[in-house]
Structure 1
């Protein structure tokens, strides 16, 4: 905009990042200008800087700090809004901007891909007004993809845990990235194994350590209960030797005493 005539002045007090006990108080006396462009519908405008755009009551670095707090520090939007003294919509918008920088970043090169399911709330159903039948609008199960042997963290997440959900996510990744995956760690799920055979046929499928130990502990408990019933003719009791040692058998190696 072209302007050379001052219309007036206004005073704003934008909030900035806290510093010290009370924090700084910004007072900006900015000028309001007439717009000399004939096609301008606004006719006038106030001064602005990149950190404080027009009609903003917060500095950009405060917005960015609130968004990064939700993205990186694991706090909720309500907690960040209370800490930075901002409204919930402002912090949520800042979090969306901060999260976009991560979701749109290219995937890091990995060799071991981890796939597992995560329960997220409840399933939502929608009823068709014409047929009267209900169909799932949101699945309560999500499938997460992580860097199982590096520091890449969470690589992506897709809704559902069916065999077709994993290849659909892999299809959106670059071919060179898929070719670099050598191993895929999953739980003992036939659907995940079938999906990996389709999406990553060259990768070696392995079962992750947690589910192997979990299955071994379940089998150990089953054998202990069955043998106790066979030899004693009753359920196990706390005074029985096999039940006294059940905690030691299920304890981690680092938790055992020499």
Structure 2
């Protein structure tokens, strides 16, 4: 009988491969995918995906006591773990962003705590040794004030910041609100499928360096209408924010973000006077 050694591809008697598990963990922690979406992507049942992810998480976390060593920058966010009415469907995810900040590697999962309250994060921080909390320099989070308050109480010397994902998402939300407001002011109703603003809603969120010729044509036609000038100005600011975060030179990206914030009013006024706020193509790529 001939047998092939598959231990490099998967654990013995495992239902998912090592690469599949790595993809699942990355999807849940970094990309905020649900277990149902993970199961669909892997072509397995929900229970199979859930059990495998939990087991791998425990193996990487609980069996790796050194995971807390050298942590100076932590990120905290909520994740919808289950979509049922039983129990708390959310978990608080804590990751180590030190390697990302220092440019030495990707983020690392530190822990997942049931619930998404201030108390959940505060309790987790309080369970860490004081010496560990004293070296935490930055806590990155979303806009939830509970996380910020917990960090202020348990790691008061750390700087609380909003992570780029949520900053860009808030900017995108502002762009959507502006589009809807202008749509209502012009047409007196919410967007219909044939309304230019509604048809462009996804294109407006696409980075300028990723736009197809068809999308560029659509935006050019959209912004040619003076009634859409406020949307054009807001879109230009949104794209500049994305470009600043994508800049490989962090110092230059930070400078661009500060400059944009100071110069925001000038660009908006320029748009009202008919100046074009499209970001420079090279800068936005």
Contact 1:67 1:95 in 2 (8 A): no
Do structure 1's residue 167 and structure 2's residue 116 form an aligned pair?
no
Tell me the CA shift for residue 112 of structure 1: 1.8
Please list every run of 5 or more consecutive structure 1 residues that lacks an aligned counterpart in the other structure: 1-19, 25-60, 77-90, 125-137
Counterpart in 1 of 2:73?
A: 112
**Cα distance in 2 between the residues matched to 1:250 and 1:221:** 9
**Cα distance in 1 between the residues matched to 2:134 and 2:163:** 21
**Cα distance in 2 between the residues matched to 1:187 and 1:175:** 24
Find 1:207's aligned residue among 162, 165, 169.
162
Tell me the CA shift for residue 159 of structure 1: 1.2
The verdict on how the C-alpha distance between 1:97 and 1:145 changes in structure 2, with shifts beyond 3 A counting, is: closer
**Cα RMSD, aligned residues only:** 3.7
Counterpart in 2 of 1:255?
A: 210
Do structure 1's residue 142 and structure 2's residue 103 form an aligned pair?
no
Matched ranges for 1:3-152 at <5 A: 21-23=2-4, 65-66=11-12, 73-75=19-21, 98-99=59-60, 102-121=63-82, 122=84, 124=86, 138-150=87-99, 151-152=106-107
Contact 1:71 1:95 in 2 (8 A): no
Please list every run of 5 or more consecutive structure 2 residues that lacks an aligned counterpart in the other structure: 25-51, 100-105, 213-280
Max radius of gyration: which structure? 1
Counterpart in 1 of 2:275?
A: none
SS at match of 2:202: helix
* 4+ runs deviating over 6 angstroms: 67-71, 94-97
Paired positions, count:
174
TM-score normalised over the length of structure 2: 0.50
**Cα distance in 2 between the residues matched to 1:109 and 1:69:** 34
Contact 1:71 1:98 in 2 (8 A): no
